[in-house]
Amino acid sequence: MKTMDFPSFAGILAEELLLPAETIEAGQSLDELGVQSIDVVQVLQRVEIALGRELDTNSLAEVETVEQFYRALVGPVPVEAPAPAVDAAATAPAESGRQAEVTAWLGTDPLAGVDTLAEMVLRRAVLTPDREAFRFDDEVCTYAELAIFVERVARALRRAGVSGGDVVVLMMPNCAEFLPLFHGITRLGAIVAPIFHASGPERIASIVRDCQATMVITRGRLDDAACRDLDAALEGTEVDLVALADVFTDAEAGHELEPLPVPEPDAVAMLQYTSGTTGDSKGVMLTHRGLMANIRQMIPPAQFNPDDVFVSWLPVYHDMGLITMTLCPMYVGARVVLLPVSLRPQAWFEAITEHRGTMTAAPDFAYRFALRFGGDVGKYDLTSLRFALVAAEPVRASTIEAFETAHGLRNVLRPGYGLAEICVGAAFWPLSRDGLVVDDDGFVGVGAPLTDFDVDIRQGDRSMPAGERGEVCLRSPSQTAGYYRDAELTDRLTTSDGFIRTGDVGYVDEDGVLFIVGRTKEVIIVAGRNLAPKEVEEIVDSVDGVASSMALGIDEGGKAGEHLHLFVEARAPRREWTTLAQAIGAKVKARLGLRPSRVHMVKRGTIPRTHNGKRQYATMRARYLAERAEEQAVPSSRSDA
């Protein structure tokens, strides 16, 4: 059984009290040192983590001195015969490639060996308690304050009946309370499922049923109509609907000393809900160990460091906004400037300018949008940026060139590639390499795979040589444990030798650079967001007057990338088609938070299908693009109706 000597214990206590270790003496009174209940909790949890077990706290009530505190937690230290001398270098476990690279990049890594989000929060609070962790609007939170909030939230949720292994759905936008809530849930050993903050009742209910959630936490109290709709959708489930304010009110109620459980590294920390080819939302299981692995994989090529300032408007309920833009900076002790979830170029650029942001991220579409609608570029100074990730959708070399030219940047915008099933990041174009690589077809290389990633390009079960295209298959210590409560889908996701099937088509060139050139699955990518056609079609088909529909992502080569187009066969008479199209657009916007670019009302039988009724997406896309080309060549007054 592991134990702890008194100097080590005194060092922990000194760090919590922000005192020099040499000032802590065995006979000192805890009251004289200013030890409060929250300090007791913090010390207890750190000792439990160090010893790897939960401690008996029954005798803490009688503790008055530092030595009594130590004995109450650690107990009498057994006297053992001295162990024979051992060559530490010979017995130390070999560092993983990712850990070795992090240590080499940072010089030293005080978080080496940390394999849970809970321990990362605590360790960072000890190392840099007064450093700003994040800010949202005018609210600033230090790492020490974050750790305290996290502990209080965990205890409040436990008093509310949440236990380790329970799933808590977190439904809120970017805000100052999100990170304390996210980490509070995982600190308790529960599983957090962050979802789109404006999700409709049907989607919320679908996810709650899928993951058997015990609680849904919302940003604010829902109005009566929303409550009625949600109650109806949740009928038959046993889930508590809790407003954010109620959680934080309860979190201030008290600080009981009963220790919190210590999450296991291989326990599931979060579920990232994503749409697949079927349209059913799937909970991608991400473990503490997997998340920490991907964080370590991303730090060296991006050269993240403690002096970085991350500026992000990306949603924290999604992988890139959460893992890349809040967890990576926490690992290195950097600052995060969090903005509302809204692509407002002026606010984005103002934040980078004001806070001298060094790192940001967005899909390719966002940079193109900002070029057009960002206003006078002379008002902003983005030269503090050293790394701007371009990911979540196909990367255009023209976007990178135009954005860097407009803002006087060079080698700052860097392509990347990833997916929820490997946490988030699989490849970055490293800062150590200038320029880009664009192949003969105009596809941009997204960089070499991150350390400890295996990449195999496959056609069926056959691995393809360099330069040959096939499905991109990935294997990494960061990969998902599978889809929550869905063994069948999990089996289809993974190969017999443990690779994740991404559904993306690509190749690796002779220099080891990965190129993504297409998709094997029919997925719509709009402004970096993935949508399954079936997910959209089910919404459209539920509108009265609709007979059938098809959802397509169509890229006509303009600045916006793919648009969401809906082709709708109506039961309603032609005179009602305009009203019906408006109703369809409104319902899709309400359910998905995304407005379709075009709703094409078409005659019955227009949507192509196979002999057994399956929609033929490629045929419809080719037909539409051919008609568009004909219209542009010969102007006409033809309408979709």
**Rounded to the nearest 10 degrees, what angle do helices 117-127 and 288-302 cross at?**
50
Is residue 294 scored above 50 in pLDDT?
yes
β-pair partners for 430: none
Structure tokens at 271: 């579920």
Residue with more model confidence, 88 or 175: 175
What pLDDT, on a 0 to 100 scale, did the predictor assign at position 445? 96
Structure tokens at 517: 């050139």
β-pair partners for 311: 337
Report the sign of the C-alpha dihedral through residues 540, 543, 545, 548, in that order: positive
Mean pLDDT of 341-370: 94
List pLDDT tens digits, range 521-559.
Answer: 777 888 767 777 877 887 898 899 898 899 998 886 665
Beta-carbon contacts of residue 104 (< 8 Å; ≥ 6 apart) = 300
Residues 528, 341: Cα–Cα separation, whole Å = 13
> 492-511 burial, b for 16+ CB within 10 Å, e for fewer?
ebbeeeebbbbbbbbbbeee
Is residue 133 scored above 90 in pLDDT?
yes
Residue of 361, 476, 341 whose CA lies nearest to 422: 476
What's the pLDDT band for 446 if we cut at 50, 70, 90?
very high
Is residue 397 scored above 60 in pLDDT?
yes
DSSP 276-329: -TT--EEEEEEEHHHHHHHHHHHHHHHT--TT-EEEE-S-TTSHIIIIIIIIHH
Is residue 209 scored above 60 in pLDDT?
yes
Residues 360, 574: Cα–Cα separation, whole Å = 48
Is residue 78 scored above 50 in pLDDT?
no
What pLDDT, on a 0 to 100 scale, did the predictor assign at position 641? 36
Continuous segment of H or E residues that includes residue 198:
none
DSSP 219-265: SSPPPHHHHHHHHHHTTT---EEEEHHHHHHHHTS----SPPP---T
Is residue 438 scored above 70 in pLDDT?
yes
Continuous segment of H or E residues that includes residue 274:
strand 268-275
Mean pLDDT of 335-348: 95
Count of C-beta atoms within a 10 Å radius of residue 18: 10
What is the DSSP secondary structure assignment for residue 55, as one 8-state letter? P
Residue of 431, 620, 561, 426 whose CA lies nearest to 506: 426
What pLDDT, on a 0 to 100 scale, did the predictor assign at position 481? 95
* C-beta of residue 317 within 8 angstroms of C-beta of residue 195: yes
What's the pLDDT band for 262 if we cut at 50, 70, 90?
confident
What is the chain's mean pLDDT, rounded?
Answer: 86
Mean pLDDT of 328-341: 97
List pLDDT tens digits, range 82-116.
Answer: 333 434 333 334 567 899 999 999 999 999 989 99
* C-beta of residue 282 within 8 angstroms of C-beta of residue 182: no
Dihedral Cα 357, 317, 101, 445, nearest 10 deg: -80
What pLDDT, on a 0 to 100 scale, did the predictor assign at position 96? 78
List pLDDT tens digits, range 476-502.
Answer: 999 999 999 999 999 999 999 999 999
Mean pLDDT of 347-356: 97
What pLDDT, on a 0 to 100 scale, did the predictor assign at position 629? 77
Amino acid occupying residue 49: I
Is residue 599 scored above 90 in pLDDT?
yes
Continuous segment of H or E residues that includes residue 409:
none
Longest dimension (CA), the chain: 95
List pLDDT tens digits, range 42-61.
Answer: 788 778 766 766 677 667 76
What pLDDT, on a 0 to 100 scale, did the predictor assign at position 75? 67
Region of poorest pLDDT, from 118-122, 251-255, 346-350, 518-522: 251-255
What's the pLDDT band for 34 if we cut at 50, 70, 90?
confident
What's the pLDDT band for 187 if we cut at 50, 70, 90?
very high
Residues 57, 433: Cα–Cα separation, whole Å = 54
Structure tokens at 265: 């590294």
Is residue 279 scored above 50 in pLDDT?
no
Is residue 633 scored above 80 in pLDDT?
no
Residues recorded for the chain: 641
Residues 5, 26: Cα–Cα separation, whole Å = 12
What's the pLDDT band for 422 if we cut at 50, 70, 90?
very high
384 by Cβ neighbours in 10 Å (0-12 / 13-18 / 19+) ranks as middle
Amino acid occupying residue 160: A
Mean pLDDT of 188-208: 90
Amino acid occupying residue 71: R
Secondary structure of residue 534 in the 3-state scheme: helix
